[in-house]
Amino acid sequence: MARIVCFGDSLTSGHGIGAAAAYPAILQQKIRAAGLACEVVNAGASRSTSSEALQRFDAALRGDVHVLVLALGANDGLRGVPVPQLEANLTRMIEAAQARRIAIVLCAMEALPIHGWSYTVAFHRMYEQLAKRYQLPLVPFVMLNVIGRAELLLPDRIHPNAAGARAIAEAIWPHLEPLVARVC
């Protein structure tokens, strides 16, 4: 069975709500509801930066992977990882997946202006540039409709609750659905 791998950090893994309520599980429900036969794999790991994710990337793409939902960078932004380093890590993942003919949906992240406005702007633009360079569908910041809305967040005000995870899945689905329709 064709696999769709959601590769990311705690926003993907389901921190505080469990994998069964995380957005990859919601995407799996959408795929089944559409009558398609693909398996969605949650390859999220809490606290993961792009550098740490590189260490587990090859293992995440084992098997019959057809689509990669790449949702990394939030922790890099919080830690002030230099944008060129984040870009290099994401580039390695994108090129490795494309070399295997795996379609990619890139999910943009944003950096709070705690490291300066120029960092935040460069961080934002980097996702747009990667999407353009590699001709990838780009999901705007997955937390865009979640952040700041208490009814969609856990008490930590950082991570989505189950309703927030559904909102993230709704943001990703329009970009993922055309790819899924071709491979499932």
For the annotated catalytic residues, the residue numbers are 10, 156, 159
CB atoms within 10 A of CB 59: 8
Residue 154 per-residue DSSP state: -
Beta bridge partners, 5, equal 41, 68
Do residues 28 and 173 lie in contact, with contact meaning Cβ atoms separated by under 8 Å?
Answer: no
CB atoms within 10 A of CB 42: 21
CA gap 98, 94 in Å, rounded: 6
Max CA distance (Å), the chain: 47
Structure tokens at 70: 């790449």
Would you call 9 helix, strand, or coil by DSSP? Answer: coil
Q: What is the dihedral of CA 2, 5, 100, 139, to 10 degrees?
A: 120
CB atoms within 10 A of CB 122: 18
